């Protein structure tokens, strides 16, 4: 099973070129950080106490990146708000470790190349297109066919909107209808109104958008933690 962050990254990578969509280039690292936090919230590992994220269940997830994030939050000297952790984990460029994980799983392959024969600039096209196709079909069923979104689906939809990846998931003749449904889900109580308005904003606003997804997911899917 792919993590939420791995699913988001696959949607952001072009299958053939292996490069990140230009629309998501400035926001993706923060979107991936937000996806990691939402994953930990939905799985019951994180909760909220006094406005800060706290560890509710420190047991290993089986995912190295998620376990490392969980450990950092657990051993923080004080409970910090989601915005802090989105900024911190985003600044650590989680994309690299997630790409390695997808390479290890045989989903991506590495193409080595150099710019001007000197600067390394590897690309990561799909080796196995099945997992990304499954993610796309799941999201498209919710957006275009009216399927009921599960918590992971709603979280991923909010992050697709925040990272401006709508054009990567839907064909041109679907996008107007898709955006309306994306807005409806992202702005609903299910995922939180804080995500709306993230589209087309600069990096700082994207941080706030993915933080909104974390806060909303925490409120909706985790029991209150005692401090």
Q: What is the mean pLDDT of residues 113-121?
A: 68
The region that residue 110 occupies, defined by phi over 0 for left and psi between -120 and 50 for alpha, beta otherwise, is: beta
The position carrying tokens 């390695």 is 100
Residue 216: the pLDDT is 65
- For the chain, the domain total comes to 1
Question: How big is the CA angle at 221 (ends 224 and 86), to the nearest 5 degrees?
Answer: 90
| Three-state SS at 25 | coil
Residue 119 lies in a domain: yes
What is the domain range of residue 67?
Answer: 4-221
pLDDT per position as a tens digit, 157-212: 988 888 889 998 999 999 999 999 888 887 653 333 333 332 223 344 455 667 66
pLDDT at 10 over 80: yes
Q: Where are the beta strands (DSSP E) in 150-193?
A: none
CATH of the domain at 95: 1.10.3630.10
Residue 106 lies in a domain: yes
Residue 227 lies in a domain: no
The two three-digit tokens of residue 70, written as one number:
């969980």
pLDDT at 95 over 90: yes
Residue 197 lies in a domain: yes
Residue 205: the pLDDT is 47
Q: Using only C-alpha atoms, what is the Rg of the chain?
A: 17
Residue 226 lies in a domain: no
Residue 137: the pLDDT is 95
pLDDT per position as a tens digit, 15-74: 777 788 777 777 888 889 989 988 888 888 988 887 788 898 999 999 999 999 999 999
Residue 32 lies in a domain: yes
> Do 197 and 164 touch, CB atoms closer than 8 A?
no
pLDDT per position as a tens digit, 199-222: 223 344 455 667 666 666 666 665
Question: How far is the CA of 38 from the CAs of 29, 60, 198, 221, in angstroms?
Answer: 14, 16, 17, 10
């Amino acid at each position: 099973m792919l993590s939420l962050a791995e699913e988001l990254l696959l949607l952001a990578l072009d299958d053939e070129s292996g490069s990140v969509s230009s629309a998501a280039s400035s926001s993706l690292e923060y979107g991936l950080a937000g996806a990691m936090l939402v994953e930990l919230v939905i799985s019951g590992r994180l909760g909220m106490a006094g406005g800060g994220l706290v560890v509710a269940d420190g047991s290993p997830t089986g995912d190295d990146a998620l376990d490392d994030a969980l450990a950092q939050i657990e051993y923080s000297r004080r409970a910090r708000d989601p915005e802090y952790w989105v900024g911190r984990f985003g600044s650590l460029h989680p994309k690299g470790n997630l790409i390695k994980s997808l390479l290890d799983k045989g989903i991506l392959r590495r193409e080595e190349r150099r710019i001007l024969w000197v600067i390394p600039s590897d690309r990561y096209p799909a080796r196995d297109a099945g997992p990304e196709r499954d993610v796309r079909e799941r999201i498209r069923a919710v957006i275009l066919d009216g399927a009921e979104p599960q918590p992971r689906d709603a979280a991923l939809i909010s992050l697709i909107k925040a990272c401006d990846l709508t054009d990567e998931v839907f064909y041109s003749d679907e996008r107007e209808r898709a955006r309306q449904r994306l807005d409806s889900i992202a702005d609903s109580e299910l995922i939180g109104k804080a995500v709306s308005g993230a589209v087309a904003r600069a990096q700082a606003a994207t941080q706030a958008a993915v933080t909104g997804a974390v806060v909303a997911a925490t409120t909706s899917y985790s029991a209150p933690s005692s401090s």
